[in-house]
Amino acid sequence: MSLLKRIDTVCLTVSNAEEASNWYQEVLGLTESFRGDDYRILSIGNSGVPLTLEEGTVSPSQIQAAYPIFYSDNMAKMYTILKEQNVKVSEIQNDGVNKFLDLYDPDGNRLQVCYWE
């Protein structure tokens, strides 16, 4: 019997929870579902796993350690929207199974968007 039932949330440390929440909403279309004093919880499409933005000190080692991967069924449109909004974004890559791109929030947190069939 497993004591763990599911992933409850994915947390990222950001320098300013309010500004970061606004960025994730405006750029990625996430929806803020809860506001705490120093954190925000954002809903991601129809996923049951939210993204929690916790205000704190952003360190370079944390930025590269772990990152969320979002799913999109329209990578070309995603890339175009990110470029139009001056988001730091890689070219769309294809590893033979997945198409994916990396992008970075204003604190330098690495995020990834993928598509696979």
pLDDT digits (tens, 9 = 90+) for 12-32: 999 999 999 999 999 999 999
With 80 as the cut, is the pLDDT of residue 116 above it? yes
Q: Please check whether residue 58 lies inside any domain of the structure.
A: yes
Residue 105 forms part of a structural domain:
yes
Q: What is the mean pLDDT of residues 46-56?
A: 92
**5 part of a folded domain:** no
Whether 77 is covered by a domain: the verdict is yes
Beta bridge partners, 39, equal 54
Per-residue pLDDT reduced to its tens digit, 81-107 = 999 999 999 999 998 888 999 999 999
Is residue 92, in this structure, part of any structural domain at all? Answer: yes
Better-scored residue on pLDDT, 96 or 79: 79
Q: Is the residue at 4 inside a domain?
A: no
Is residue 22 included in any domain, yes or no?
yes
Among 69, 72, 77, 73, residue whose Cα is nearest residue 111: 69
pLDDT of residue 35: 94
- Amino acid type, 4: L
Provide the CATH number for the domain around residue 31: 3.10.180.10
Instruction: State percent of the chain over pLDDT 90.
Output: 67
Other beta carbons less than 10 A from residue 58's beta carbon: 18
Supply the mean pLDDT for the chain.
89
Q: Is 60 exceeded by the pLDDT of residue 4?
A: no
Report the domain count for the chain: 1
Q: What is the pTM of this model?
A: 0.78
Angle subtended at Cα 72 by Cα 103 and Cα 114, rounded to the nearest 5 degrees? 55
Domain extent, residue 100, equals 10-115
Asked whether residue 71 is assigned to any structural domain, the reply reads yes
